[in-house]
Amino acid sequence: MTNFRIDNLQYANWSEKIFRQMREGGLDAVHVTISYHENFRETVLNFEQWNRWFEQYPDLIMKGQWASDIDKARETGRTAIFFGFQNPSPIEDDIGLVEIVHTLGARFMQLTYNNQSLLATGCYESEDPGITRMGKQVIKEMNRVGLVVDMSHSADRSTIEAAEISERPIAITHANLHSWAPALRNKKDDVVRAVTERGGMLGFSLYPHHLKGKSECKLESFCQMIAQAADLYGAEHLGIGSDLCQDQPDSVVEWMRVGRWSKEIDYGEGSAAAPGFPPMPSWYEDNRHFGNLEDGLKAIGMNPEEVTGIMGGNWYRFYAKNFTPQG
């Protein structure tokens, strides 16, 4: 297995500095969020901005659409950038836009952010009635075109139902085990099993509020959690989705949580005393530290093949199977 390095979720304040850090960290591919609460037209502006970055930094980054683009990026010393949405807002209430956004380059779409959507229920709602009528139709269309169902911010019943309804494997791109760190966004055993038993993927998050000990979390503890997940669900279903939000101002973090739905500040899993983004663990401050995860997994005794898969090989295989249209 090729030693790919793939981070399957980031939302940094993008800059030449960060693109160079991706190269220093040996990242072959990164899945970047290009929509939180934007509608279709606003999301198109984000596609445009990325096209400009691809023009400005052709020696550092390139657009990724298929797994084969990771090979091309590796051969040319660049990082392939894959696009995803953390909310279904870019498709608005129009199922026809599912195919359009895939054509533009989107490869992952969460059915919800933290709230109820037209498709499913977010993890902060008190009641979870599951996948909606429109949600069932959208999952079917996502399966057809090759847009991966992502349930990272979704509630338990909705996630389990999405895994059952989807004819193709789904993903939780960025979360950890609830048993290790009981944050609302971390996933319980029955939820992870529903996803992984059907060929889906779980990407582990470095977002401090999802970590045991938060910003003070130890690398060994994080890696032990991954090893436990490997024993429970199979290492082949695991990867990294760091949720790195590097260089983002607090105003952006507040916008991520609030969008347009409230006039009040929603502190999410933070606290009133710390509404912004908490410090990252010292061993994972930016893309240059990606290799620390590999070292940590090896240090706790995971075998080389499992480590290679978790660091990127499993995501590569998942991309190859699930980004292409059916038929």
Q: Give the pLDDT confidence score for residue 264 in this predicted structure.
A: 85
Q: Give the pLDDT confidence score for residue 269 in this predicted structure.
A: 56
Q: Give the pLDDT confidence score for residue 267 in this predicted structure.
A: 61
DSSP H helical ranges for 110-244 = 133-145, 156-165, 189-196, 219-233
The Cα-based distances of 158 to 136, 161, 181 in angstroms read: 11, 5, 21
Q: What phi and psi, each to the nearest 5 degrees, are found at residue 63? A: -70, 130
Q: Give the pLDDT confidence score for residue 274 in this predicted structure.
A: 54
- Stretches in the chain below the pLDDT threshold 50: 271-273
Instruction: Look at residue 325 and give its three-state secondary structure.
Output: coil
The Cα-based distances of 177 to 7, 26, 165, 281, 309 in angstroms read: 18, 27, 23, 18, 19
Instruction: Look at residue 168 and give its three-state secondary structure.
Output: coil
Q: Give the pLDDT confidence score for residue 272 in this predicted structure.
A: 42
Q: Which helix (H) or strand (E) holds 292?
A: helix 290-299
Q: Give the pLDDT confidence score for residue 284 in this predicted structure.
A: 98
Q: Which residues contact 96 (CB under 8 A, 6 or more apart)?
A: none
Which amino acid is located at 229 in the chain?
A: A
Q: What phi and psi, each to the nearest 5 degrees, are found at residue 275? A: -70, -20
pTM here? 0.96
pLDDT in tens, 178-221: 999 999 999 999 999 999 999 999 999 999 999 999 999 999 99
| Planar angle of CA 202, 61, 84, nearest 5 degrees | 35
Q: Give the pLDDT confidence score for residue 271 in this predicted structure.
A: 44
In the chain the domains, ranked by start, together with CATH numbers, are: 94-322 (3.20.20.140)
What is the DSSP annotation of 9-70? EE-----HHHHHHHHHTT-SEEEEEEESS--HHHHHHHHHHHHHHHHH-TTTEEE--SHHHH
